[in-house]
Amino acid sequence: MPAVHSVIDTPIGELTLVAVDGSLTGAYFPAHKRMPDAEAFGPRVDAEFVEAKRQLSEYFACKRTEFDLPLNPKGDAFQQKVWDLLRRIPYGQTRSYGQLARELGDAHLAQAVGNANGRNPISIIVPCHRVVGADGRLVGYAGGLERKRFLLELEEPVEIKTAKLF
pLDDT digits (tens, 9 = 90+) for 109-162: 999 999 999 999 999 999 999 999 888 888 777 777 889 999 999 998 766 655
Residue 68 pLDDT more than 60? yes
In sequence order, the 6+-apart residues with CB closer than 8 A to the CB of 131 are: 86, 89, 94, 95, 96, 97, 100, 113, 114, 117, 140
Supply the pTM of this predicted model. 0.90
Q: What is the mean pLDDT of residues 96-103?
A: 95
| Model pLDDT, residue 166 | 57
| Model pLDDT, residue 164 | 61
Does residue 128 have an active-site annotation?
yes
Measured distance CA(59)–CA(116) in Å, rounded: 24
Residue of 100, 128, 131, 151 with catalytic role: 128
Whether residue 89 contacts residue 127, with contact meaning beta carbons closer than 8 Å, is answered with: yes
The model's confidence at residue 12, banded by pLDDT at 50, 70 and 90, is very high
